[in-house]
Amino acid sequence: MSRQTYELEATLRDVVGKGAARALRRQSQIPAVIYGDKKPPLSIALAFKDADMRLRAGGFMTTVATISLGDEKILVIPKDYAMHPVKDSLVHVDFLRIGADSVVTVYIPVHVVGADQSPGMKKGGTVTYAVHEIELEVRADSIPEAIEVDVSELDFNEAVHVSEVKLPEGARLASREDYTVVSVTPPIGAEA
């Protein structure tokens, strides 16, 4: 159920800092850092085109990647990235190194199912998302693509809370709060 992994070619950076990062970007490369798994951080450079394409393809923050650094292959998951404030282009990526049995915290998108059978939807209601993603703690090798939320039983002004959502095996909620995920709302002017 987890997404397909992808590979990015990288080179090791000897020089770090603002000036070095700007010089890399002029050469169509992106500065990045790999940290975690009780190993020292690695400063690397990625090809801008490859990294930007992966970011814009969707699922970037929830997909395990392989960084190819010469002969070494490092399993990582993106933890953060920075965009240029004007150009909307990728300027930096932070990766978390994945080890054996690593558990990561990720935001997984919510997909609604059963809307066509919902009594509230049949009367003209609308599915309203309170959140579009659910934060989960899950093993890095079993990150789901999406969390399905069934609304087939909902009538007007009824909701599904996060505690009612069926989670993938081995996954658990990162928050203890029982918040609303989706609800069915009546059309404007309709009597509930």
Summarize pLDDT for 80-124 with one digit per residue, the tens.
Answer: 999 999 999 999 999 999 987 889 999 999 999 999 999 999 999
Please give the pLDDT value at position 189. Answer: 73
Both tokens assigned to 43: 């400063």
Domains 6-99 and 104-185 share a fold: no
Answer yes or no: pTM beyond 0.85. Answer: no
Return the half-sphere exposure (C-beta side, CA atoms, 13 A cut-off) of residue 136.
Answer: 27
- Compute the distance between CA of residue 4 and CA of residue 10 in angstroms, rounded to an integer: 19
Query: Considering the domain 104-185 in this protein, what is its CATH number?
Result: 2.170.120.20
- The answer to whether domain 6-99 has CATH 2.40.240.10 is yes
Whose CA is closest to 156, among 108, 122, 112, 113?
Answer: 122
Is residue 77 within 8 Å of 65, Cβ to Cβ?
yes
Over residues 141-162, the mean pLDDT reads: 93
Domain ranges across the chain = 6-99, 104-185
- Compute the distance between CA of residue 32 and CA of residue 79 in angstroms, rounded to an integer: 11
pLDDT band at residue 2, thresholds of 50, 70 and 90?
A: very low
